Amino acid sequence: MKFKKSYLKNELDLPYSAMVDEITDTSRWSIHHKIVFEHEGKFYQTHYSEGATEMQDESPWDGQTEVDCVEVELKDVVVKKWVPKKI
């Protein structure tokens, strides 16, 4: 689903009001985020990036008029990982 950038920023106050805001990657100039937000009882996920320093002039969804979002749902997920063995 596509949302207008102006709607996300002005009406929903995103990315600041997002339920989840996770940093997914960093580069020399940018910090990349994944967010989840609610809209009319449904939940959506999208990405944005912002400048890594105060000198970088980059804000969420620069250069975009519409933002691609995917409807998501919350599910329990089992994850296996290697941990130190207790002796």
What's the predicted TM-score (pTM) here? 0.85
Q: What is the CA radius of gyration of the chain?
A: 16
CB of 14 within 8 A of CB of 8? yes
**Considering only CA atoms, which of 34, 40, 47, 33 is closest in space to residue 11?**
40
In percent, the amount of the chain with pLDDT more than 90 equals: 93
pLDDT tens, position by position, 38-56:
999 999 999 999 999 888 8
What is the domain partition of the chain in residue ranges?
A: 2-72
